[in-house]
């Protein structure tokens, strides 16, 4: 039962599922409003109106017009769509472009990204200061660098921070992306020169969008407790550990969840055969379908691992290719879905060509196929060099597809390694490895192959994994406590 809303939150983000998605950020921004509604939170999402979003939106109503939003006219449109209350920024000069939200068809960042996402932040700040009249947020919650200037613009609006001015939160989904731009853009961004200091928006001589968010927001969160600690160290702080440590309050780590209706093996229409802990045998049909789809040998006894990922250095995919000869030689198979870095894409297609019947690759982005892979595989590999939270291991747990993960960030927080003690205590749900290198990954794949040959232990792990709570409820409570604490 939902409480009557007593808290309004404006979530500000560059992407949101199901309107548009390039990664886990969209899943999180799309899931939080539904997760927080039962606690009495009216969360609405502010984002750009890209062409792909236009195809997905329902009924719309204009709530505000700008004569000049960073170089052109803009309309703010309220829309109820796919169960979300969204405010969309219709600014054709900034957002009406083909391709992905951040890069053009040539794979290069749009040259005016600083203006495009300053516009997102500017509108967020205006909302905070009362732009939409009838609906005013108590909290403006920015996600990642693209929304990083929102708190700064609110601070600089000239209005004193009266009791009515919303509190601001920023969530770091990935510290590797910081939104750094040359100082010469200061005036174009409407940022006063006196903000360009080391305790303001200046970051090693450049304008730092994320840094601005970390400096000016009332609270900073990230998406797992372990990552919250890691980013306060030079090793994973990406140059911002000093800024994070200087804040009066430590960064709060709140784990992501997954949408348990979207990801439900018992009712998933995308998969070959629904299954549950009680009907785990049916998972085998999904495995066979997946082997057929990827042209793999139809062998029920092969340990079928899958990998579903952006192909970037962060994700450590290269380590998997190094371990392939050993893994395949000992009876493993691999199905890979991903896109990104051209060199990694080539390694993936080469592997499929080199290990016919053992490795299958699909280069691209395919939501339906990702469901079929989670259902059909025995194991999902996530060897990330760093991982703020990670969602595919949570989906793997839910589907009884045991995650084999690097011990870092949210991966460390969500998977229990099958070491001898955990196996004996019947606590294990997957495999962790550290240090994060090919040799240790290789040993860990061998551990997995070993346990796979002990079906009783493996089945126990699957059932435990599937029973793990990977939904949003607990984390939603933590977000509510954070918001309420700020007010």
Q: From residue 200 to residue 239, what is the string marking binding to ligand GLC with x (rule CB under 6 A)?
A: -----------------------x----------------
CA distance 2 to 196: 45
Question: What does the radius of gyration of the chain's CA atoms come to, in whole angstroms?
Answer: 23
Q: Which is nearer to ligand ADP, 299 or 366 (CB)?
A: 366
For residue 308, the partner it binds in ligand ADP, ligand GLC, none, with Cβ less than 5 to 8 A by kind, is: ligand ADP
Q: State the nearest-atom distance from the C-beta of 130 to ligand GLC, in Å.
A: 30
Asked whether position 195 contacts ligand GLC by CB under 6 A, the answer is: no
Asked whether position 118 contacts ligand GLC by CB under 6 A, the answer is: no
Q: Which is nearer to ligand ADP, 337 or 381 (CB)?
A: 337
CA distance 21 to 53: 10
Q: Which is nearer to ligand ADP, 165 or 309 (CB)?
A: 309
CA distance 271 to 444: 29
Q: Which of 299, 310, 302 is nearest to 336 (CA)?
A: 310
CA distance 367 to 324: 26
Q: Report the residue closest to ligand GLC, judged by CB.
A: 24
Asked whether position 414 contacts ligand GLC by CB under 6 A, the answer is: no
For residue 231, the partner it binds in ligand GLC, ligand ADP, none, with Cβ less than 5 to 8 A by kind, is: none
Q: Which is nearer to ligand GLC, 376 or 390 (CB)?
A: 390
Q: Which is nearer to ligand GLC, 176 or 183 (CB)?
A: 176
Q: Report the residue closest to ligand ADP, judged by CB.
A: 24
Q: State the nearest-atom distance from the C-beta of 103 to ligand GLC, in Å.
A: 15
| Tokens found for residue 374 | 């989670």
Q: State the nearest-atom distance from the C-beta of 367 to ligand ADP, in Å.
A: 5
Q: What per-residue string of b and e applies to 226-245 under the rule 16 or more CB within 10 Å gives b?
A: bbbebbbeeebbeebbebbe
* Positions that interact with ligand ADP (CB under 6 A): 23-25, 27, 308-310, 337-339, 365-367, 370, 389-392
DSSP class of 141:
E
| Tokens found for residue 428 | 């294990």
CA distance 60 to 351: 47
For residue 309, the partner it binds in ligand GLC, ligand ADP, none, with Cβ less than 5 to 8 A by kind, is: ligand ADP
Q: State the nearest-atom distance from the C-beta of 309 to ligand ADP, in Å.
A: 5
For residue 79, the partner it binds in ligand GLC, ligand ADP, none, with Cβ less than 5 to 8 A by kind, is: none
Q: Which is nearer to ligand GLC, 23 or 295 (CB)?
A: 23
Q: Which is nearer to ligand GLC, 23 or 357 (CB)?
A: 23
Asked whether position 84 contacts ligand GLC by CB under 6 A, the answer is: no
Sole binder of ligand GLC in the list 347, 391, 402, 428 (CB under 6 A): 391
Asked whether position 23 contacts ligand GLC by CB under 6 A, the answer is: yes
Half-sphere exposure of 116 (CA within 13 A, CB side): 23
Asked whether position 146 contacts ligand GLC by CB under 6 A, the answer is: no
Asked whether position 352 contacts ligand GLC by CB under 6 A, the answer is: no
Asked whether position 358 contacts ligand GLC by CB under 6 A, the answer is: no
Asked whether position 34 contacts ligand GLC by CB under 6 A, the answer is: no
Q: State the nearest-atom distance from the C-beta of 267 to ligand ADP, in Å.
A: 18
List, as one string, the DSSP characters of 60-73.
EEEEEEES-SSSS-
Rounded to the nearest 10°, the torsion over CA 302, 328, 313, 236 is: 70
| Tokens found for residue 101 | 């939200």
Asked whether position 361 contacts ligand GLC by CB under 6 A, the answer is: no
For residue 223, the partner it binds in ligand ADP, ligand GLC, none, with Cβ less than 5 to 8 A by kind, is: ligand GLC
Q: Which of 41, 195, 25 is nearest to 102 (CA)?
A: 25
Sole binder of ligand GLC in the list 121, 165, 168, 174 (CB under 6 A): 174
Asked whether position 256 contacts ligand GLC by CB under 6 A, the answer is: yes
CA distance 90 to 26: 19
CB 219 within 8 A of CB 486: yes
| Tally of residues, the chain | 487
Beta strand extents in 49-109 (DSSP E only): 60-66, 74-81, 84-90
DSSP class of 51:
H
Q: Which of 36, 46, 47 is nearest to 5 (CA)?
A: 36
Asked whether position 413 contacts ligand GLC by CB under 6 A, the answer is: no
Q: State the nearest-atom distance from the C-beta of 462 to ligand GLC, in Å.
A: 23
Q: Which of 235, 228, 276, 234 is nearest to 250 (CA)?
A: 228
Q: Which is nearer to ligand ADP, 309 or 475 (CB)?
A: 309
Q: Which is nearer to ligand ADP, 137 or 471 (CB)?
A: 471
Burial class (CB in 10 A: 0-12, 13-18, 19+), 410: buried
Half-sphere exposure of 382 (CA within 13 A, CB side): 32
CB 39 within 8 A of CB 480: yes
Q: Which of 287, 285, 190, 198 is nearest to 239 (CA)?
A: 198
CA distance 342 to 7: 45
Q: Which is nearer to ligand GLC, 256 or 370 (CB)?
A: 256
Asked whether position 390 contacts ligand GLC by CB under 6 A, the answer is: yes
Binding residues for ligand GLC, rule: CB under 6 A, are 23-25, 28, 173-174, 223, 256, 387-391
């Amino acid at each position: 039962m939902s409480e009557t809303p007593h808290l309004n939150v404006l979530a500000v983000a560059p992407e949101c599922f199901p309107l548009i998605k390039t990664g886990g950020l969209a899943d999180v921004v799309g899931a939080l409003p539904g997760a927080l509604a039962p606690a009495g939170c009216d969360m609405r999402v502010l984002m750009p109106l890209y062409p792909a979003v236009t195809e997905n939106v329902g009924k719309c109503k204009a709530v505000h017009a700008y004569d000049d939003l960073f170089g052109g006219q803009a309309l703010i449109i309220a829309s109820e769509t796919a169960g979300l209350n969204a405010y969309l920024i219709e600014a054709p000069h900034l957002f009406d472009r083909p391709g992905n939200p951040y890069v053009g068809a040539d794979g290069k960042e749009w040259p005016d990204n600083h203006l495009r996402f300053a516009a997102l932040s500017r509108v967020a700040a205006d909302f905070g200061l009362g732009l939409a009249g009838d609906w005013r947020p108590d909290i403006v919650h920015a996600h990642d660098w693209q929304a990083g200037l929102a708190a700064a613009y609110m601070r600089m609006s000239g209005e004193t921070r009266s009791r009515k001015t919303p509190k601001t939160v920023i969530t770091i989904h990935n510290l590797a992306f910081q939104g750094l731009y040359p100082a010469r853009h200061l005036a174009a961004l409407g940022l006063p020169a006196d903000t360009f200091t080391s305790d303001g928006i200046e970051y090693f001589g450049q304008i730092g969008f994320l840094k601005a968010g970390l400096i000016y927001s009332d609270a900073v969160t990230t998406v797992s407790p372990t990552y919250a600690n890691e980013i306060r160290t030079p090793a994973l702080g990406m140059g911002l550990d000093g800024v994070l440590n200087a804040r009066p309050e430590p960064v709060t780590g709140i784990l992501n969840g997954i949408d348990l209706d979207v990801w439900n093996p018992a009712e998933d229409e995308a998969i070959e055969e629904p299954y549950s802990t009680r009907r785990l045998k049916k998972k085998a049909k999904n495995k066979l379908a997946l082997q057929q789809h990827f042209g793999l040998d139809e062998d029920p006894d092969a340990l079928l691992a899958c990998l579903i990922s952006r192909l970037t250095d962060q994700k450590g995919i290269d380590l998997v290719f190094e371990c392939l000869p050993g893994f395949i030689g000992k009876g493993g198979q691999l199905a890979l879905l991903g896109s990104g870095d051209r060199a990694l894409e080539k390694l993936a297609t080469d592997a499929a060509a080199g290990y016919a019947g053992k490795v299958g690759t699909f280069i691209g982005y395919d939501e339906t196929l990702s469901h079929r892979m989670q259902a059909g595989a025995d194991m999902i590999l996530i060897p990330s060099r760093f991982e703020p939270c990670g969602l595919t291991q949570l989906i793997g747990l839910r589907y009884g597809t045991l995650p084999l993960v690097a011990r870092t960030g949210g991966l460390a927080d969500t998977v229990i390694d099958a070491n001898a003690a955990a196996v004996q205590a019947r606590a294990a749900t997957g495999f962790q490895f550290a240090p994060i290198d090919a040799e240790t990954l290789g040993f860990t794949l061998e551990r997995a192959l070993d346990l796979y040959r002990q079906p009783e232990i493996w089945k126990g792990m699957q059932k435990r994994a599937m029973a793990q709570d990977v939904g949003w409820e607990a984390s939603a409570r933590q977000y509510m406590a954070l918001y309420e604490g700020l007010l």
